[in-house]
Every structure is written in C-alpha cells, then in structure tokens.
Amino acid sequence: MERSELQKRIAAYLEHEEIAVFCDEVKELAAKGSWDELEDRFYRDLEFGTGGLRGVIGGGTNRMNTFVVRRATQGLGAYVLEHAEGRQCSAVIAFDSRRYSDVFSLEAARILATMGIKTYLFTSLRPTPVLSFAVRRLQAATGIVVTASHNPPQYNGYKAYWNDGGQVTPPHDAGIIERVLAVKEVIKSLPAEELKAKGLLVMIDREIDEPYAAMVKAAMLRPELLREKGKDLKVVYTPLHGAGRVPVESILGSLGVTVTTVPEQREPDGNFLTVSYPNPEEASAMKLALELGKKNRADLVIGTDPDADRIGIAVPDARGEYALITGNQLGALLADYIFMTRTELGNLPPRPAFVKTIVTTELQRKIAESYGAASFDVLTGFKWIALLIKAFESGSDPELKGFDYVCGGEESYGYLVTTEVRDKDAVSAAVMIAEMTLYLRSRGTTILEYLHELYKRHGWYREVQISKGFAGEAGVKLMADLMNRLRQTPPKTLGGIDVKTIRDYKDGVTLDTQSGKKTKDLKQPSSNVLQFILASGTVLSARPSGTEPKIKFYVSSCTQPGLTEKEAAPLLDREIEAIKKDVEGFFK
C-alpha cells in the first residue's frame, strides 16, 4: 500500500473511532514510524464474513474495535429493516467474557436501537446457546453474540443470527455483507439511557435464563436418574474464565449433582491468564481441571470454552488416571446413548435424522444408521446443521420432508441435543453427559468401556488434525496456492494407500480416480474443501479455516469391526503416521 493511501486511511479511522485506547495505539505506531505494523492494521477492512466478524483487538480498520463493530452493525441493521419477514423488527445481543465484549455489545445495541430496531441486551455475560434460544423465544428478527469463541485472548468478534436462532446462512449472509460494504458513514448513535426511555433498548436476564434452564431439563431422557442418583455423581468443572459457569453450576446443581468448579478459572477473565488457549479441545487448557478431578476422584471432568458452546470431558480409567475424550468420540457416545434410549423408550420419531459435518468421523454415521436413522452431512459450521433442522421443519424440500432431527454435532466439540437452540450448546450437552454417565453406571459400565464397545461393534476409528498457520496478506495467498495445487495435481496415494475418490466441495464434484469419471453429486453449498477417500476407508479432508489464518487437514482412519484394541491400535498408528508424513510434504 502506498504511504499516502495508508495515511489517508489512518486519518479517516481516527476521525471516527470513539474509544481513546484504540486511537492512541494507532497514533503511537505512527509516531514510531512502525509502517509495517500500520499497513497490517489498515491494508483492508476487517471482513464481515458469512458468520460475522472476528479479528485481533486493536486500533485500525483490520482490527476488532468499536468503529468496526458500529459500521458492521449498521449494515446488519439496514438489512434487517428490509427483510424482517413480517416479524417484530427486533434484535437480541449477548456477550461473553472477552476483553471489550461488554463495550462492543453496547455499541452494537445503540446502533440498532438508534435505527429504530428494538434491541434486547443481556445485563451480563451469557453463553452463545442462550442467545440462540433468546432469539427464538423473543421472536426477534436477528441476534448478535459478541465473542471470538475459543480463539486466543487477543481476539474478539461477533456472530450474527437470523430469526430461526441459527447463524445467518444464504441468502441472508451475502445480503448482510452487501449492506455492510455499502456503509460509507457510520451514524451517530443515541445515548443508552435515552434509548431505554424510548423502549428501544431493553435489558434482559431472568426472563430468558429461567425458561432456558427449564428447556435444558426438559431435554433429559431419563430425568429420574438425575433426581435419584444425581447426588452420587461428582463433577469437576472449568468454564475456562468464560460464560458457562452460572448455567452449568446452577442447572446441574439444581438436579442434585455435586459440581466443584476449578477456583483459578471460575471467574470471567478475558485475558485467560491460566491458559494459553481457552479451548477444551486442548489438553493444556484442561490441565487444572484434570488435576482437581484426580484430587477429588471425580466421576466426570467437564470444560467449556469462553462462550460455552463447545464442551470437552475427561473420565477416569481403570488405573485412576483421567482420559480426555475427543470431540469425535464424545459425539459418537452421545449419538448412541440418545438413539438407544429413545428406541428403548419408544419415542424415536418415524423418520429420525442425525446430522454431522463432513469432517466429523464416519463412526457417528454408522451408529445413527444402526438405529434406522438417516444420517446427513453438512459443511463445517453449526449454521448448516441449524439450516437443515429448519428444512426438516418446513417440509419445503420433498427429499427432507418428514424427517425429525434427533441429535447431531461436529468434531470440534460441539453438540446439539434439542431443537430449542439452533447452535451448539455445551450446557444442555453437559446435562446429557451427566445423565449418560449415571445410566452407564447403572449398567455396571463406564464411558471408556462403552466407547470400546462401540468400536468393537462398528470398527475402530482414530482422528487427528494437522494445522499450519499462514500470517498476514501473504498467508492468504499461500493457502490459496496450496489448495489450487491439490486440485490440479492431487496425490495418487496417501500413506502408501491408493486414493480411491476425491470430493471437491467447491465445484460439488466427486472424482472416481480409477475411471477418471466426475459426477456432480455433492448437494452442499460451494465451499473450499477437498476430501480424499482412500481404499482403506480412511478420509483426509483439507479445509482453510474460516475463523483463523490457518489451513486444517483432518485425518480419520478406521478398521473393520470385530477387532480388539490391541489388534486395531498398531494398524491405526502406522496408517496415520504415514499420512501425516505425506501431509507435511504438502507444505514444502
């Protein structure tokens, strides 16, 4: 970028940014002559993507700050005013514990309310699933949750929702982006107190919290287990300094479960000082919870991410050590427990549906289909699961008519066990996991033994993820070049095993490598994802992340059913290590 253009962008930003700390950052960098850093902050506008905003907090048009939030929200508001679909023209906003989340949420609320959109704002931090529930409960046209989910502490962002309680999907996502890009001048918003007096800004809390808690309890399948045996279940829990503490503690506690929360991580803290990465997928993030679990001899260790949509667990093994359960494994356990229980209770719908993402283990498909359910694959991102639930309910697609959603999830530790929320919900999942643990105890077994039972029945599966980061503007090009190279010259073998089929979700085409025949049979929306299906049944998926500057490779290796763990483990080890070596070669 030319220096003169950069200086113009800096001056325009400083004119409109209202928060002094962000202005001072930019002024200090300019005074020091830190032009490379300033170029990174101003070479583009922080993109309002198909899910909303996400970026590093700081001053600049390519950073997360109040100016960027206000501009994006004005575009969202303009779209809502045009497309409220006859509903009350209203919005709901929630926020988590990240730095400036409360500030950004209030700024977004003031913009929408000033535009004449009645805006409900939570008085304090709430989980993402509570926002989704509130949109549906209040029959709002849109919703916003200010969060960067599980990203490192320097990030913040927000996710935008439509009136079904799910994140925005086509055509609304593109329409909102168009309105955001059209914003040339950010309006001056009215003071919060004036908006409250006019009834345009309404503060909420208990009127949503109480029905949400009732909904979570109503989703239980064997409520008598928790009523009678909940007091015998010892849970150690960490909210990782986030929004999950109040609902998880209060709901499980009201069911009689003894919950001990990791004291160092119990209070909200956007700096996440006890972890390097506030993500229950990471073993390091669960370290304190595992230590406390071992000390207390807990039956179950639970962790939720800052906005409490993701959940991870650990359970004791036969030696008294604690084993972390992966996202794919927990999804398989929940799927089998829910389908098995509803089959036993006789309340499985006539056409049950299970939904997972394309990078989630095929073990879950096998489990669902073993109970007579149809299994559907959607693109990565929970909004696609929400959209499919909406399609089941509307009956607008003849191929989907009559199906009822039972459960579903994604490999990245996100699950949905009810249709009252349309995003992944760690709170309701925590209650379902507690119930499942008690049920297995009543059968004289454990979660680990149950998991091994599933593997023996359906085949052993193991999944690993390989990620590589690409920083800055140059990194975007490097990721694009790598995906293009994989399309133009795809590998013929991976780990020494023939690649049998290649699915390209960008073009919706499946390639049979033996015959060279291409079939346009993928029904998902276009997405920059490649899948390589090997002769062994193993799947390698390649996908640039939509929320971080990195590319992700997902390996899912499997064996035939009937093997013991001792027989399966070396087979899986060899195959995965060989594939990982080939994937590392992609980066050279």
Q: Is 168 helix (H, G, I), strand (E, B) or coil?
A: coil
Q: Is 287 helix (H, G, I), strand (E, B) or coil?
A: helix
Give the integer Cα–Cα distance in Å for 553 and 522.
Answer: 20
Q: What six digits make up the tokens of 28?
A: 């200090």
Torsion of CA 565, 566, 569, 571, to 10 degrees: -120
Q: Where are the alpha helices (DSSP H) in 33-139?
A: 35-42, 66-82, 101-114, 128-137
Position of tokens 């990721």?
A: 479
Q: How far is CA 295 from the centre of its chain?
A: 31
Q: Is 495 helix (H, G, I), strand (E, B) or coil?
A: coil
Q: Is 142 left (phi over 0), alpha (psi -120 to 50) or beta?
A: beta
Instruction: Please tell me which residue in 97, 149, 189, 557 is annotated as part of the active site.
Output: 149
Rounded to 5°, the CA angle 169-173-179 comes to 160
Torsion of CA 218, 224, 230, 231, to 10 degrees: 130
Beta strands in 385-460 (DSSP E): 404-410, 414-416
Q: Is 141 helix (H, G, I), strand (E, B) or coil?
A: coil
CB of 295 within 8 A of CB of 283?
Answer: no
Q: State the pairing for strand pair 461-469/300-304.
A: unpaired
Q: Where are the alpha helices (DSSP H) in 219-265?
A: 223-229, 245-254
Burial class (CB in 10 A: 0-12, 13-18, 19+), 171: exposed
Q: What six digits make up the tokens of 452?
A: 């091994």
Burial class (CB in 10 A: 0-12, 13-18, 19+), 566: exposed
CB of 490 within 8 A of CB of 60?
Answer: no
User: What sign does the CA torsion over 264, 270, 272, 278 have?
Assistant: positive
How many other CB atoms sit within 10 Å of the CB of residue 154?
16
Give the integer Cα–Cα distance in Å for 50 and 62.
Answer: 17
Give the integer Cα–Cα distance in Å for 517 and 527.
Answer: 21
How many other CB atoms sit within 10 Å of the CB of residue 535?
13
Which residues are 236's β-sheet partners? 260, 301
Is 149 marked active-site? yes
Q: How many helices (H) and strands (E) does the chain have?
A: 19, 23
Catalytic site positions: 149
